[in-house]
A and B are shown apart, each in its own frame.
Chain A
Amino acid sequence: MSLTRRDLMKCGAVSLASFLVPGAVRMAKAGSPDSVVVSIFLRGAADGLSLVVPHGDPAYYKVRPSIHVPAGDVIDLDGFYGLHPALAPLQSHFEAGRLAVIHAVGSPDATRSHFDAQHFMDTAQLSSRFETRGWLNRFLGAQRAPDHFGGISVGSGTSPSLRGAHPTLDFSSLADFGLGGAFAPARMAALESLYIGGPDFALGAAADGAFAALDVLARVEPSGAGLYPDTDFGAALCNAAALIKADLGVRAICVDLGGWDHHSEAPRQIGPVASDLASSLAAFHTDLEGAAARTLTLAMTEFGRAALENGSGGTEHGHGSVMFALGGGVSGGRVLTAGGAWPGLEPENLHEGRDLAITTDFRDVFAEILDRHLGVANPSELLPGFAVDRSFYPGLFA
């Protein structure tokens, strides 16, 4: 009964999309109703100091005496910051100005609980466990995005960022979405009559999405399977690219990539997952073809890891980390911090004496993307309790 997570998700390997509705490949500008945000949540608290190394700061080597990325291995970006070697597939995107890094970014809330911090980021609301609506669900509702197809979670269940009143869709793979076995058409009709029209409870909402999606998803054919690494995350992005290119009215897609909680043996652990992230993102960008210009991919994590390494060759839960913004008209090739300043890693610079401080509130990143990429007129309305001020935008679109 051997089973790995690898078996769980497949991206159908088929020829070029045979289904493209007329106009599907039209070019669209950022900020238009065709613009898309793909939210990649690096769950488990990814170590920003290993992913984008401040190799120009001597204090980095002091706080990480045994687990720093060796200077010779860092892929230098600008003389001060450099990529982890496992992120090499992103180097050309940075150099071509398609990839921006936001460093020392995170939540002003100081919690070191994964679950609270993820919840705050998913809902873009600090310090409230009672808000359950995801920030992207609020966006879909305000934009009157299409039901079900406007927001799609690829993976296991509805992403918390997409949870809420606006109907969205979740699926794990295009390849096996539907009914098998004998009498399938008659069964499908009977099941539809059993489930459709039942509002107001979880199963009914899921059924509404599933039946609505059935015919449509059957015609969406992933075309980029060969580009991606053979991982669940690669398969998820392969499916995501197909959905975007099929022009279904998708505005937001959520995909999770876990496995970042490296309390021990961090250097050994981060390589494979960082490599999965980078090679999948690079493949995704290629796969998107003409849709890449209207698709902004944002990778985020709930908080960073402590600047100081711990006693097991790993790191504890920390504070500031990094975000990556790829495509969608991002003015990249830059590592962005507020005012261009690096908060530093000397003891007096550290948050609570141990963590990378933040200079950019993650909600400023969300606000800039809502405003300048997704065309939301008043992002304040979608970020309750947060006063949007354009002067605090990280400057993704310079």
Chain B
Amino acid sequence: MSGYRSSGAHRALVAALLLAAVAAAGGDCTDPALAPKPQIEHVLNRIGYGPDVWSRLRIGGIGVAAYIDEQLHPESIDDSLFEARIASLDALQLDWEALQASFCSGCPMGRSSDALDQLRTAKLLRSIYSRRQLEAVLVDFWFDHFNVDASSGLGRVGAVTHERDAIRPHVLERFEDMLVSTAQSPAMLDYLDNGTNQREDAQGLGLNENYARELLELHTLGVETGFTQEDVVAVARAMTGWLLVQRWKDYLLPSGEVDHERSQAVYEQSRFFEFQLTAHDRGEKHVLRELEIPRSGGMDDGLALLSFLANHPRTAERVSTLLIRRFVSEDPPPQLVAEARDTFLATGGDLREVMRTILTSPDFLQEHYREKVKRPLVLAASLVRATGADLRVGRVELESVDRQIADMGEPLYMAPEPIGFPEDSVHWASSATLFKRFNLIHAIARNPWLGINYGVVGGSAGEIVEALIPRLVPGGISPETRIAVSEYVEQVKRADPVRVSEAAAMLLSTSEFLTH
């Protein structure tokens, strides 16, 4: 599959640009000043949500290799402008206890459902405005990997801490740490039921295999490993006692007296992770004929299991394959999978090094340009970044974009199945969403209230299109596309600002922009 309508023409163009750049740079095609534009667009598209002004200047200034390295160390990037944009979203600052107490539905003083709304807003704004673009993409990737559905149950508030505490700190650190933290995440314990998984003879309750199965199938080894039902039961037994439990806490009225009504309501609706030895199956377990967990263990049974799974060669291969599907190609090159897997195993699952192996490979840097169809969030974020539109918390435009992403099949944080949203161009390239994509693009690109300045005052149709290309589709467009867009702009007999924004909307509607 190729991302271009006339892929041959595009390939020739890329090749010509690459050759010219290589020749001019004396063979060093990573020279910052001379990195070919299709490569710059590609890198910004894949390790982020597309080019914006800052990222274009930054990658142009320090070069592709240094930009990638900088993105691999997000803590080194000043993100204060973005942080200021989300400062008013107070739910995101609260710890788990305060979050549940403030947002439990039906609680007196509880704000019913807007913790999730704040999280959705923050995700959209982060995708658009955070300079830590790779981290934003990785958090999206790993949320899909460890998916919880925030549309019901504890997920409505739990998605906040699931992402913030269980996933984000680990996306460029050790995989094992992320596996352990997601295993203890209240949203996960609720969504895949491990929070009720107990040893068989405990007061009428008993095993729940839901988490155990998806832990093996989705989070670690993969179904191809051929684990058996006995393995699932053994894993479920090892994870018994990792429970969601209620805790009483006194909440006080302004007068200083205990607010019994609120305390009771919070108690009923709050859940905390707690290991309870009395609910743990302390018998011995055998997993995959490889791991023997001796009898009389406690929480260390589960930790030993998670460590075994996190560092298993099949997990290394599966995680590498999934990352490469996201960042490189949906038909992952076997050699690159092997290299990433080897890095994973050699570094004890250091995800920064796995990402470095992938992002510095020729497969990533030089192939598969515009091969993938943008997912709805990617489309929306890259659209706003390209136009420079200013979306703010509380503004109707931001809510509208969120709604349209959902309408195109990606309601943020609400993928119903444990596998998350599909990383699959054929799925996202649907007839149903095509016009929705065009409508969203037109609505943003033409909107006069978003502070968009295309930096083009007017001219002939051809001149306008030419002037917009470096900013909107810096990797270039095919000759056929250039003609079709110019012919359209010819027909718009209006004032120059309208012609410019119509030209922008049409350029952003091309397959060159809808793919990445």
Contacts and interface: CB of A to CB of B under 8 A. Distances in A.
B428 A312 contact: no
B348 to A, nearest CB: 28
Interface centre among B373, B429, B510 (most CB of A within 10 A): B429
Given A5-B414, A202-B373, A206-B430, A310 B208 contact: yes
- Category for how many chain A residues contact B: 35 or more
A221 interface: no
B437 to A, nearest CB: 10
B411 A3 contact: yes
Contact of A312 (B2, B205, B417): B205
Interface stretch (A48-56, A90-98, A169-177, A375-383): A169-177
B255 interface: no
A77 interface: no
A194 B512 CA distance: 10
A125 to B, nearest CB: 16
B217 A187 contact: no
B5 A190 contact: no
A249 B398 CA distance: 41
Interface string A124-146: 00000100000000000000000
Contacts of B430: 156-158, 170, 206
A210 B205 CA distance: 52
Contacts of B5: 194-195, 197-198, 201, 204
Contacts of A112: 213, 229, 232
A342 to B, nearest CB: 24
Contacts of A261: 210
B491 A310 contact: no
Contact of B434 (A1, A116, A210): A210
A16 interface: no
A292 interface: no
Nearest to A110: B229
A66 to B, nearest CB: 8
Contact of B3 (A148, A197, A201, A312): A201
Contacts of A190: 484-485, 487-488, 506
A13 interface: no
A115 B424 CA distance: 15
B509 A205 contact: no
B213 A206 contact: no
A311 B443 contact: no
A275 interface: no
B451 interface: no
A311 B439 contact: no
B439 A179 contact: yes
A177 B432 contact: yes
Nearest to B208: A312
A182 interface: yes
Contacts of B429: 202-203, 205-206
A311 B212 CA distance: 14
Contact of A157 (B205, B398, B428, B439): B428
Contacts of B4: 201
Contact of B223 (A113, A170, A312, A314): A113
A210 B431 contact: yes
Interface in B188-216: 192-193, 196-198, 200, 205-210, 213
Contacts of B210: 261, 263-264, 316
B248 interface: no
B406 interface: yes
Contacts of B434: 203, 206-207, 210
Contacts of A4: 151
A264 B208 contact: yes
A202 B431 CA distance: 10
Contacts of B200: 311
Interface string A160-193: 0001000001111000111111110011011101
A156 B409 contact: yes
Given A112-B213, A112-B229, A157-B432, A314 B208 contact: yes
Contacts of B213: 112-113, 317
Contact of A194 (B197, B398, B502, B510): B510
B62 interface: no
B439 A180 contact: yes
Nearest to A180: B439
Interface stretch (B44-52, B113-121, B130-138, B177-185): B113-121
B54 interface: no
A182 B441 CA distance: 12
Interface string A303-329: 000000011101011000000000000
B432 A203 contact: no
Interface centre among B117, B120, B407 (most CB of A within 10 A): B407
A201 B2 contact: yes
Nearest to A171: B432
B402 A3 contact: yes
Interface centre among A113, A156, A179 (most CB of B within 10 A): A156
B435 A183 contact: no
Interface string A1-44: 11111011000000000000000000000000000000000011
B357 interface: no
Nearest to A264: B193
A271 interface: no
B193 A312 contact: yes
Nearest to B206: A311
A210 B3 contact: no
Given A170-B432, A194-B484, A5 B193 contact: no
Contacts of B220: none
A68 interface: no
B499 to A, nearest CB: 11
B147 to A, nearest CB: 13
A213 interface: yes
A352 interface: yes
Contacts of A194: 5, 481, 484-485, 509-511
A44 B7 CA distance: 39
Interface in A80-134: 111-116, 129
Contacts of A209: 431
A348 interface: no
B189 to A, nearest CB: 11
A259 B416 contact: yes
Given A172-B432, A182-B446, A1 B438 contact: no
Given A169-B431, A182-B446, A1 B120 contact: yes
Nearest to A116: B223
B508 to A, nearest CB: 12
B403 interface: yes
Contacts of A311: 196-198, 200, 205-208
Given A1-B402, A311-B198, 12 more contacts: A1-B399, A7-B406, A43-B417, A112-B213, A157-B433, A169-B431, A171-B431, A180-B443, A190-B506, A202-B425, A259-B416, A314-B208
Which 9 pairs show the lowest CB-CB distances between chains A and B?
A311-B206, A202-B429, A198-B5, A190-B488, A263-B210, A209-B431, A210-B431, A156-B409, A171-B432
29 contacts: A2-B117, A8-B407, A112-B229, A113-B213, A114-B417, A129-B224, A148-B431, A157-B428, A170-B432, A172-B432, A177-B432, A179-B439, A179-B442, A180-B439, A182-B442, A183-B502, A193-B487, A194-B5, A195-B511, A198-B5, A203-B3, A203-B373, A203-B514, A207-B431, A259-B416, A263-B193, A264-B196, A264-B210, A311-B208
